[in-house]
């Protein structure tokens, strides 16, 4: 039996200054599930979250918690009665309370009645020894971890998080994300997480809802959105992309990298073959010293290295292509730094190409 949603956002819109900044968003989050609203800055993510929290109100649509309407045209339940935990960008600790008291703030009986839970939570984010310390004595990252466990302490059935890790430095961020995720899963919380960072969404989410201009344009598991983007913008949101242009004839498009099947594209329609840099292959078989073997199968195109950079995990090589002067970028998971001017043959991993109308 499918698990019924804990949180249901039903066709909400939010009108500001003559336009819909949220335009018909529907989304469900089940217990124990992390759904991520992912999209560029200004697309309406925070507004959506604020409406769910009850700190803003939708123009039309409904919010339901466990099947019960908490907000629609005629009803409005205030934030504190919705059983929702909040972790926003601009979190603030109470400066006059110590760490333990901050975490225990929302718990019946305060620190006295909940000491073991508070200590356990603080331990989980490596702040076990900080219970009596005051916020001004903590670093920004430590304060953020306290705010996180303060939000988790009352075991909210729903947790809303708006870019909660953005203030942390890189190494700390991965660690805190994983710990937070562990805690939320353990408590079977339904989580709606807002971020503009695809890496964060891929790392945290069971389900990603990709948002653009107030609408959800694609929704699915991270691997499914990454591997089956619905358009060029969706593909390009997750990584750098390369574009090879062509024209469809008889459901085929000829390119310098060979023929591609392009069913559903009209004769004469311009198409774009989109490919991520890690799926562009430098064809080492065709290189080598001495006379270069000329590719005969027509699936390799020649480019000249413009620039090569070592990025740590990989090398990024930029090419100017012989056939039309366009630039393509390939990443190689090794130290590979050919000199500018070097001519190399490239192929595409065909199973990783996306075909879109231009």
- Please give the residues from 8 up to 27 whose contact with ligand ADP meets the rule CB under 6 A: 16-17, 21
Segment lying near ligand ADP (by CB under 6 A), choices 26-34, 38-46, 307-315, 328-336: 38-46
CB of 177 vs Mg ion, minimal distance in Å? 18
Pairing of strands 190-195, 158-162: parallel
CB of 214 vs ligand ADP, minimal distance in Å? 7
Q: Residues in contact with ligand ADP, total (CB under 6 A)?
A: 11
* CB of 205 closer than 8 Å to CB of 35: yes
* C-beta of 54 vs 135, nearer to Mg ion: 54
Angle between the N-to-C axes of helices 140-152 and 170-186, in degrees from 0 to 180, rounded to the nearest 10: 10
* C-beta of 44 vs 135, nearer to ligand ADP: 44
* C-beta of 173 vs 196, nearer to Mg ion: 196
Q: Give the x/- contact pattern for ligand ADP in 291-330, rule: CB under 6 A.
A: ----------------------------------------
* C-beta of 34 vs 332, nearer to ligand ADP: 34
What CA dihedral angle connects 233, 234, 239 and 243, to 10 degrees?
Answer: -50
Q: Decide which of ligand ADP, Mg ion, none touches 297; Cβ closer than 5 to 8 Å per partner kind.
A: none
* CB of 319 closer than 8 Å to CB of 256: no
- Cβ neighbors of 60 (< 8 A, separation 6 or more) are 11, 12, 13, 73
* Binding residue (CB under 6 A) for ligand ADP from 44, 135, 198, 222: 44
The answer to whether residue 46 forms part of the interface with Mg ion (CB under 5 A) is yes
**Which residues contact Mg ion by CB under 5 A?**
46
**Site residues (vs ligand ADP, CB under 6 A):** 16-17, 21, 39, 41-47
């Amino acid at each position: 039996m499918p698990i019924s949603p804990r949180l249901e956002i039903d066709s909400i819109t939010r009108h500001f200054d003559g336009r819909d900044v949220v335009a018909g968003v529907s989304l469900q989050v089940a217990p124990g599930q992390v759904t991520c609203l992912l999209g560029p800055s200004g697309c309406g993510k925070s507004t959506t979250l604020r409406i769910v929290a009850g700190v803003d109100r939708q123009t039309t649509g409904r919010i339901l918690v466990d099947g019960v309407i908490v907000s629609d045209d005629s009803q409005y339940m205030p934030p504190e009665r919705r059983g929702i935990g909040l972790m926003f960008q601009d979190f603030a600790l109470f400066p006059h309370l110590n760490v333990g008291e901050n975490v225990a703030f929302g718990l019946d009986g305060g620190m006295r009645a909940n000491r073991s839970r508070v200590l356990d939570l603080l331990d989980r984010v490596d702040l076990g020894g900080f219970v009596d310390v005051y916020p001004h004595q903590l670093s920004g990252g430590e304060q953020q971890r306290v705010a996180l466990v303060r939000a988790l302490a009352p075991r909210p059935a729903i947790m809303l998080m708006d870019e909660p890790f953005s203030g942390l430095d890189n190494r700390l961020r991965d660690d805190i994300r994983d710990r937070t995720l562990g805690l939320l899963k353990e408590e079977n919380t339904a989580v709606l997480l807002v971020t503009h960072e695809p890496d964060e969404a891929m790392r945290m989410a069971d389900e990603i809802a990709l948002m653009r201009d107030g609408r959800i344009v694609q929704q699915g598991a991270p691997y499914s959105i990454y591997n089956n983007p619905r358009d060029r913008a969706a593909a390009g949101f997750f990584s750098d992309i390369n574009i090879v242009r062509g024209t469809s004839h008889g459901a085929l498009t000829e390119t310098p990298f060979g023929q591609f099947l392009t069913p559903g594209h009209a004769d004469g329609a311009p198409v774009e073959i989109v490919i991520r840099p890690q799926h562009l292959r430098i064809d080492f078989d065709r290189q080598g010293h001495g006379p270069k073997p000329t590719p005969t199968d027509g699936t390799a195109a020649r480019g000249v290295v413009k620039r090569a950079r070592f990025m740590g995990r990989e090398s990024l090589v930029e090419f100017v292509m012989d056939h039309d002067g366009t630039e393509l970028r390939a990443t190689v998971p090794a130290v590979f730094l050919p000199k500018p001017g070097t001519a190399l043959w490239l192929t595409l991993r065909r199973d990783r190409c996306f075909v879109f109308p231009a």
